Amino acid sequence: MKRKSPQRQANATHPTRNRKGFGIILMFIAAVGLVAFACRFAYVALGGKVDSANLSQYRQKVVARNSVLKAKRGTIYDRSGNVIAEDSNTYTIYAVLDQNYVDGKKKLYVTDKAKTAKVLAKYLPLSEAKINAILHPKAKNTFQVEFGTAGTGLSLATKQEIQAEHLSGIKFSDSPSRLYPNGVFASHVVGLAQPKDHAKSTDQLVGVMGLEKQFNQTLKGTNGYRTSQTDAYGYQLPDSQVKTQAAVNGGSVTTTIDSSLQSYLETLMTSVATKYQPKSLSAVLEDPKTGEILAASQRPTFDPSTGDGLGDMWRDILVEDNYEPGSVMKIFTLAAAIQSGKYYPNSYYRSGTVKVADTTIKDWNTTGWGTIPLNQAFPRSSNVGMVKIEQTMGATVFSEYLRKFGFGQQTGIALPGETSGKFDFGAYLDSAMASFGQSIDVNTMQLMQAVSAVANKGPMVKPRLVEKITDKKGKTTTYGRQVVAKPISKSTATQVTDAMRAVVSASYGTGAAYKMNGVDLAVKTGTAQIAGSSGGYLTGDSNYIFSVMGMAPASNPKYVLYISMKQPQKMTAPAESIMAEIFKPMMARALALEGNGDTTSDQAEVASVPNVMNTAMATGQQKLQTAGFSVATIGTGSQIVQQLPTSGGSALKGSRVLILTNGAMTMPDVSGWSKSDVLKLAQLTGKKFSLKGSGYATQQSLKAGALLGDDPVVIQFQQK
């Protein structure tokens, strides 16, 4: 046996000392680790960070749930408080297919695809086979599927109908939308509000056109929020703090639009646009006393609810288009000449042609009417005669009055994109051509503003579309009549009105097509050439902008109606006859809204017309009678569904208010009715009436109580 070395013997004899040394080393390592851990803990606790991650923010992200409280976009109303545009939601449908999507034992995915396809085919514009194919995607592990555009933009009613089918796995997401209950209804004027591109469900709509755009800041609300602390499953933590900021809904805009008149105008416009297919068509009805636009429309137009037609015309041609107005401009040429003392109506001139600079200007009747007095130039719409008037007045004076009438500058109407128009008489020919509406650019609202000076016997009133706005805080701002200038005197306005009367009444006038029996009417027709893209003007019978400006009653105009039609593609009738299909019924309908003609005293008392819509017939009748009105009832029902005049307006006490019930539409006894009351009856029922004579109704071809049909009812009038 080998003997151990002395060193090995020493180690073997001191095992306790070895273990002690090893323990010291372990304790040292543990102490270092503990110190390092303590330092790290202190760093994390005090600094709130791990590497670059902020623990406080991370915790908030994990357990803080933020929800947006959506604000409602404000409402746009007509003059009587009827809704034109209001806040809404649309819905997108989708189907969950993942079979792991359950709540306990409740299956939250589509369990019966065949049944689901069959049911959804009743509500979506997709076939049962197509829906079934969507529910069987090729990709495996598909969590959910959607149904394309067919499954978007669903109304609340459609959503509720589908939910009532109790289909498992069928879900909906919502997005903000705008409801336009009247469809095509002053669409470019009211405008459009749409989601932003790539909008989230919490984003608000943005006005992109018309009043929606002009008053976007007023109409849009301010979203609120709600913040709460939740666990990983979404349940609120005990004693956690909830922060809430309430949403602020948008304000409202009340317009000057009369829904009854606007709806009727849309009907007339559609009829003419369909029949004659003009490239564009516009019409504006205004109360010149107040500047209120009661109805305004254009073609092409669109349905803001569906977007149909939006691609055909984005511009609001009433304010965004400059154009040469043609002979309607002669109203202001004549007014300027009379006001400046440079009009000599009894002097004679040679009609037909006149040479200005190097250009020959012709009358529409190129052979002329021989040598005629200057007072026939306006009713005959003689370009040569207007040039003679302008030459006597001079370009400087003419230009001065055009500016007084507001041409070459915006009216400031509450619509986006209004043009200023322009005229520049740098060349003598320009001034001469402007006298009959060429070589000058205007927009429709400038014409409406300028003609108000004639209608009001001097004061020129700014056109307006807004009655009042109410902001988010409830503060209301009301807009009233605004006189912007007085370019002419009462005497001048009266003479211009008489000349416009002659356009309709004189045997040589150009406005015979607009004559309305029993209506004191003042009119000016217009035919403007259209500039070609390569210089000069287009040729051809239909390559014109045809127009008419009319006022009624001419002695004290309550309505001004302007219609413009560009290049009818199917011109199967004279331009005046085509536009008369809008002008005459529209003006008649407007005049029908006036109070009963029996009351003419300046001391007559005016009262507000109460709202009796959707009330019992007896209750409504009593309410109207208590307010001081006479009541005429049409129909056999027990519930009132329409009334004229509409609520909110004012009418003379004792005047007749017509109410339509939900029963069969029957003919009332109209004995003693004024023409305006019979016209109200035509408006309310939509039936045809032929009015003969003047004064008050004495006979009717359909007896009282008989059903109103499609045949015209003849009403005979006689003076008392």
Q: Which residues are marked as active site?
A: 327
Name which of 637, 640, 641 is nearest 621 in CA terms.
640
367: left (phi over 0), alpha (psi -120 to 50) or beta: alpha
Q: How far is CA 433 from CA 387, 395, 397, in A?
A: 7, 11, 15
- Count other C-beta atoms under 10 Å from residue 156's C-beta: 14
Query: What Rg, from alpha-carbon coordinates, does the chain have?
Result: 38
Instruction: Name the CA dihedral angle for 404, 410, 414, 415, rounded to a multiple of 10 degrees.
Output: 140
User: How far apart, in whole angstroms, are the C-alpha atoms of residue 128 and residue 92?
Assistant: 18
Nearest to residue 360, comparing CAs of 343, 338, 383, 337?
Answer: 383
Structure tokens at 257: 């639009």
First-to-last CA distance in the chain?
159
For residues 521 and 514, the answer to whether their CB atoms sit within 8 Å is yes
Inter-CA distances, 654 with 63, 629, 683, 720, Å? 70, 5, 20, 18
Q: For residue 309, count CB atoms less than 10 angstroms from its CB and return exposed for 0-12, middle for 13-18, buried for 19 or more.
A: middle
Partners of 287 in the β-ladder: 292
Q: Say how far residue 310 (Cα) sits from the centre of its chain.
A: 13
Q: How far is CA 605 from CA 5, 16, 523, 591, 654, in A?
A: 138, 123, 32, 20, 9
Q: How many CA atoms lie within 13 A of 340 on its CB side?
A: 23
Q: Are 655 and 595 in contact, with CB atoms under 8 Å apart? A: yes
Alpha-carbon span 661 to 615, nearest angstrom: 10
Strands 106-107 and 102-103: antiparallel
Compute the distance between CA of residue 530 and CA of residue 545 in angstroms, rounded to an integer.
7
Quote helix, strand, coil % in the chain, to nearest 5. Answer: 30, 25, 40
Give the tokens for residue 242: 């909830």
Q: What DSSP assignment string belongs to 613-665?
A: TTSBHHHHHHHHHHTT-EEEEESS-SBEEEEESPTTSEEETT-EEEEEESS--
Q: How many CB atoms lie within 10 A of CB 660?
A: 20
> What span, in angstroms and rounded, lies between the C-alpha atoms of 93 and 173?
7
Numbers of helices and strands, H then E, in the chain: 21, 35
